[in-house]
Structure 1
């Protein structure tokens, strides 16, 4: 069995779109991904970044598909064009490492090589 994955949305600290997003994603997930029983969790990452973590998706391909669908018209993210967010896919095992290191830039370099 493949390890679970999470989709992480990064926002500049205090970005208005990040405020109501967790609740909107819970509604979205209940409508389109009820069987996955996804958890949505806002996380403060250091002084300049907020995260919204959606977990646990059963594998990288499912997580990539979910992230792609977040760009679709039914997604709460569709209203956030140009809001300065990024979407990352991360293995559940690596999520604590990202949260501990708080180095999204380093993870982005890894992410570009691994998932793109």
Structure 2
């Protein structure tokens, strides 16, 4: 039996099938994990986005412009309701047309 430099050892059919199945699986598995994570993040984030949108719409109805000045009419009792829950704190910031602070938390970073 001649031995060549590039001679390949004989493998079983099971080994060949395993190679042909595992290689694509090992390539597709991380891709499927990433795709599943992105889809799950999108699904989980939608209710929170809708809740934030609803809050913004409700708060925007309290903005009034008088004499070219932006005023935000949020009563003290409404502010207390925003702070009533210990686990979920609602932070907001209202800025005027020129970026001037009107109401809310001054420390919030700009989007």
> What TM-score do the two structures reach when normalised by structure 1?
0.27
Larger Rg belongs to:
2
Higher relative contact order (CA 8 A, sep 6+): 1
Choose between structure 1 and 2: higher strand proportion: 1
> What TM-score do the two structures reach when normalised by structure 2?
0.28
